[in-house]
Structure 1
Amino acid sequence: MNLAENKKKAIAFYKMAYEGNPREAVQKYLGNQYIQHNPDVADGIEGFVSYFERMQKEYPDKSIEFVRCIAEGNLVSLHTHQTWPGNDEYVTMDFFRFDAQGKICEHWDAIQQIPRKSANTNKMY
C-alpha cells in the first residue's frame, strides 16, 4: 500500500463528490464494490452517487476544508470542517478502506455539528 497515494486519492475523491461530481469521483477512485456504513446513505455505488447529487442540488453553496489526513495500512482517515447554508458548521471524520488495487471500497463516518457556544475556546478540528 502506498500511504501517500491513498491519502491523495481519498481527499480527491471526497472533494470531487462533495463539490458536485460524485459520478466522476466514483469512476476515478472506487473499486467494483463500495460498502457504506453511514445510515443516511444507501449501500453501494449508486447510493453514494444519488446522495451526493441530491446534496449538491439542495445545498450548492456548501464548502469543505480538509484539516488533516491520516493513513495506516489500507485505511485513510479525513478530518474535515464543513460549512453549510445558514453558517451551520460541522466536523466530520471519514474513514476509507482501500482494496488491493488501490481503490476505495468501504466508508465509515462520524458527523458532529459545531455548537454556537462552547465550554472552552478550543476548536473542534
Structure 2
Amino acid sequence: MRLAMSAQYLILAAALTLSTPQFSVAQEAVVGVKDADALFTSPDPTLNRNKQTTYKIIKELLEANHWDRADQYLTERYIQHNPNAASGRQGVVDYFTKVLKVKPTPIPDKMKTKIVSVVAEGDIVTVAYPREMKDPKDPSKSYTTTWFDSWRFVDGKADEHWDPATKGGK
C-alpha cells in the first residue's frame, strides 16, 4: 500500500512539474528582519556570549573593517574553510586588509547588515543574510538568495569559520 501511495505521489509531482511552464516559477524575495540586533541575544549565558561576539565580528570587523580588533573576537589558530583566505587569525586579517584592501570606517551604533536569522546551538553560531545576485541569464535583472556564515566558538572567541564562498568568489 505504501509503495503504491509513493508511486502516486511521484507521478503527481512529475505531472505538476511537467505541466508548469518555466516562466511561472516564482521566488519569494529573501529579506532581513526588522530588528536584527534582537537576534543576537539569548537567555543562555554561553549562547549569548557567542551571539554577542558574532554581532561584533559582523559590525566591527566585516562592516567597519577594524581588523586591528580581530584578536578580541578570533582565536589565533582561527580555522578558515573559505577557500580564499588562509587559516589563522593573521590569515583572515591579511585577506581583508592586503588582498581586498579594505580600510577602516567608523563603527556604526547599530549593525547595518540585513539579517534573516541567527541560530546558536552548542558552540556554533550561524547567521543567514539576504544576498542579491545578478541573473546569469539576464544581467539586467537580479534575484535574492541566502548567504550564511557559521562560526565555532572556543572560550568566547570564534575559532572556526564556514561560508559558501567559492574560489575567487565572495
TM-score (norm 1): 0.68
1:42-61 equivalence runs, <5 A: 42-53=86-97, 54-55=99-100, 57=102
Matched, 1:110 2:110: no
Name the one with the larger strand percent: 1
**Structure 2 unaligned residues grouped into runs of 5+:** 1-44, 106-111, 134-141
Provide Cα deviations, 1:9-49, integer angstroms capped at 9, x if missing partner: 1121122111211221x121122320000001111111111
Give the whole-Å Cα distance in 2 for the aligned partners of 1:14 and 1:65: 11
Cα RMSD for the two superposed structures: 3.0
Check 1:51–1:89 CA distance in 2 against 1; reply closer, same or farther (3 A cut): farther
**Structure 1 unaligned residues grouped into runs of 5+:** 113-125
Name the one with the larger helix percent: 2
What's 1:94 paired with?
149
Q: Percent identity?
A: 31
Number of residues paired by the alignment?
105
Q: Is the 8 A contact 1:31 1:103 kept in 2?
A: yes
Provide Cα deviations, 1:69-105, integer angstroms capped at 9, x if missing partner: 1100000001123579xx9976321110011x22110
- Greater Cα radius of gyration, structure 1 or 2: 2
Instruction: Give the ranges of 4+ consecutive aligned residues of structure 1 lying more than 6 Å apart after TM superposition.
Output: 87-90
1:14-25 equivalence runs, <5 A: 14-19=58-63, 20-24=65-69
